[in-house]
Amino acid sequence: MPFLKLTAKRQATLPAAACAALGVRPGDVLELEPRMERGEQWWLLRPRRSRRRAWVGGLASSIRPESSHGWPAIRRSVADARRKGTRE
């Protein structure tokens, strides 16, 4: 039977089979919920579902492969925006 062993820092390593069954990977967060059943305390372990951040990668469709992201191009872009802003 798989087991956990705590380190001095109260850290534990989950067996690979448990990670696969839970569908978790390194860096995922797990929730622990205490339960009482028939006079015994149990701990329910489940992955915390992270919120998807819609803004991450949101500009990917706007990037042109031929565009440069170097400092000269950034400076030109800022200068162009300032010129357009003073005209309006």
- Residue 5, in any domain of the structure: no
Contacts 24+ apart (CB under 8 A), 6-14: none
More confident residue, 18 or 85: 18
- pTM confidence score: 0.47
- Residue 34, in any domain of the structure: yes
Structural domains of the chain, count = 1
- Residue 25, in any domain of the structure: yes
More confident residue, 71 or 52: 71
- On the CB side of 65, CA atoms within 13 Å amount to 0
Q: Sign of dihedral through CA atoms 22, 27, 29, 30?
A: positive
- Residue 53, in any domain of the structure: no
pLDDT in tens, 6-54: 999 999 888 999 889 888 888 888 999 999 999 999 999 888 876 656 6
Q: Can you give the residue range of the structural domain that contains 37?
A: 16-47
- Residue 8, in any domain of the structure: no
